[in-house]
């Protein structure tokens, strides 16, 4: 019996508890917004399935309430309570949320089977004492996922448009009820454009959402031309920059959509693999449009059909705005901090924000915290 007991203890030493039980390890009651965005970003970069992504969020909530804990049972550490003694990495590596998420997702993909629920898949990775708790956390995990998908603000005429809990809102008022939207909306006149997690671009007009395009990877960018029509740009799933032809927007701001017109065509503006994230565009008085994109770490602009490099050092999408004097202001978020471009990128704030900023012609810049709050910066 003693031998059996020792074997049992050795087997249990490799499992993860459902929240640390040690008195000295304090687990917050709420998740860390920066942690969920970091875990989500790793899952997206690895192109994991929705099931694997949900398994990661269920595991993160059960193990640490999605916090990067510097404590745990035995030598368990981090958001997934991984153990250095069990080969998950060094303590320093495990305390790097991106590293920990990469290890979780990498193993989850290997052990996934069709018969496993997201929670049971999480347990295949974690080898927990309490496997049933992962699926019990599904509602919380899905809520955190919707928050992780949230992007920056779109500020137009003082009104603040955001995606919150999967829906598009303006100044807190809900414009959708599907809980399906992600990223940052784009507003052009009476049209609101937004992306779904399935890679569709949807347009809100006269209270009705209609699909404009599918197969996109970046948030849409819509601008109004001098003739009142809308130009719409997006990064497609293959990494190419495309101009979308939205029938309703093409016929002018005062018109209505032709019967049955809902799916746009697209005109490629770059080769595949060229860009990531959200584009930014400005319209000059002559009606020409300049499109700005992040290509690797480079800020690129397309004018008159040709791309040229303006700056480097990007790690998020650019924001361009046409100032009253005809000059162009360029902004981005670098290492979580808003920057604007002069002769080099200069920080506007020491605080950390997410995704993209929304810049106004008068120089006002809005940015969004990981918890969803929108603030003026600079």
CATH number, domain with residue 156: 2.120.10.60
Q: Is 165 exposed, middle or buried (0-12, 13-18, 19+ CB in 10 A)?
A: middle
Give the Cβ contact number of residue 107 at 10 Å: 14
Rounded Cα distance, 72 and 296, in Å: 38
Task: For residues 201 and 113, state if they share a domain.
Answer: no
Residue 114: CATH number of its domain? 1.10.530
Task: For residues 271 and 331, state if they share a domain.
Answer: yes
Tally the residues of the chain: 378
Task: For residues 302 and 315, state if they share a domain.
Answer: yes
Task: For residues 40 and 105, state if they share a domain.
Answer: yes
Q: Is 85 exposed, middle or buried (0-12, 13-18, 19+ CB in 10 A)?
A: exposed
Task: For residues 206 and 237, state if they share a domain.
Answer: yes
Alpha-carbon 356 to chain mean position:
10
Q: What is the pLDDT of residue 22?
A: 61
Task: For residues 13 and 135, state if they share a domain.
Answer: yes
Name the domain count of the chain: 2
Rounded Cα distance, 214 and 282, in Å: 24
Query: φ, ψ for residue 41 (rounded to 5)?
Result: -60, -40
Q: Could you say which residues of the chain have pLDDT below 50? A: 1-17, 250-263
Domain boundary among 117, 145, 173: 145
The domain containing residue 215 runs over which residues? 149-377
Edge-to-edge strand ranges of the sheet holding 345-347: 319-322, 328-334, 337-341, 345-347
Query: φ, ψ for residue 142 (rounded to 5)?
Result: -65, -35
Domain boundary among 145, 174, 205: 145
pTM: 0.84
Rounded Cα distance, 130 and 115, in Å: 19
Task: For residues 137 and 180, state if they share a domain.
Answer: no
Rounded Cα distance, 374 and 365, in Å: 10
Task: For residues 164 and 112, state if they share a domain.
Answer: no
Domain boundary among 145, 165, 181: 145
Instruction: Give the CA dihedral 330, 333, 339, 342, nearest 10 degrees.
Output: -40
DSSP strand E in 171-318: where?
173-174, 181-188, 191-196, 201-205, 208-213, 221-224, 230-235, 241-245, 265-268, 276-283, 289-295, 298-303, 306-312
For the record, the structure tokens of 291 come out as 């499109």
Question: 65 near 30, Cβ under 8 Å?
Answer: yes
pLDDT 10s digits, 349-359: 999 999 899 99
For the record, the structure tokens of 318 come out as 């650019």
Closest among 317, 265, 326, 322 to 292, alpha carbons compared: 317
Task: For residues 101 and 18, state if they share a domain.
Answer: yes
Instruction: Give the CA dihedral 341, 343, 348, 354, nearest 10 degrees.
Output: 40
Q: What is the pLDDT of residue 124?
A: 96
Q: Tell me how far CA of residue 163 lies from CA of 12, 178, 219, 279, 374, in angstroms.
A: 43, 12, 11, 17, 12
Give the Cβ contact number of residue 342 at 10 Å: 8
Task: For residues 34 and 99, state if they share a domain.
Answer: yes
Edge-to-edge strand ranges of the sheet holding 241-245: 221-224, 230-235, 241-245, 265-268
Q: What is the pLDDT of residue 245?
A: 77
Task: For residues 190 and 272, state if they share a domain.
Answer: yes
Task: For residues 174 and 212, state if they share a domain.
Answer: yes
């Amino acid at each position: 019996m003693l031998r059996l007991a020792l074997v049992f203890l050795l087997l249990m030493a490799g499992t993860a508890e459902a929240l640390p039980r040690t008195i000295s390890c304090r687990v917050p009651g709420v998740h860390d917004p920066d942690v969920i965005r970091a875990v989500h970003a790793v899952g997206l970069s690895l192109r994991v399935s929705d099931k694997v992504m949900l398994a990661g969020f269920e595991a993160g909530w059960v193990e640490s309430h999605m916090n990067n804990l510097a404590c745990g049972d035995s030598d368990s550490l981090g958001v997934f309570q991984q153990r250095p003694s069990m080969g998950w990495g060094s303590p320093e590596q495990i305390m790097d949320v991106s590293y920990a998420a990469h290890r979780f997702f990498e193993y989850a993909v290997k052990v996934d089977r069709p018969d496993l629920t997201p929670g049971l898949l999480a347990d295949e990775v974690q080898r927990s004492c309490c496997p049933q708790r992962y699926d019990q956390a599904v509602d919380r995990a899905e809520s955190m996922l919707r928050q992780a998908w949230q992007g920056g603000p779109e500020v137009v005429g003082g009104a603040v448009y955001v995606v919150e809990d999967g829906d598009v809102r303006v100044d807190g008022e809900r414009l959708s009820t599907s809980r399906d939207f992600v990223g940052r909306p784009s507003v052009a006149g009476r049209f609101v454009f937004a992306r779904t997690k399935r890679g569709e671009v949807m347009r809100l007009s006269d209270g009705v959402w209609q699909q404009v395009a599918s197969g996109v990877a970046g948030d849409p960018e819509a601008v109004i031309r001098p003739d009142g029509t809308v130009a719409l740009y997006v990064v497609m799933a293959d990494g190419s920059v495309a101009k979308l032809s939205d029938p309703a927007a093409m016929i002018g701001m005062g018109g209505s959509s032709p019967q049955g017109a809902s799916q746009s065509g697209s005109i490629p503006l770059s080769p595949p693999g060229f860009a990531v994230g959200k584009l930014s565009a400005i319209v000059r008085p002559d009606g020409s449009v300049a499109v700005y994109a992040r290509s690797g770490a480079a800020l690129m602009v397309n004018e008159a059909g040709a791309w040229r490099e303006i700056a480097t050092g990007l790690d998020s999408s650019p924001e361009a705005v046409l100032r009253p004097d005809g000059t162009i202001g360029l902004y981005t978020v670098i290492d979580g901090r808003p920057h604007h471009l002069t002769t080099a990128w200069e920080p506007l704030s020491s605080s950390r924000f997410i995704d993209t900023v929304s810049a106004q012609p008068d120089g006002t810049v809005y940015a969004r915290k990981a918890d969803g709050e929108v603030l003026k910066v600079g």
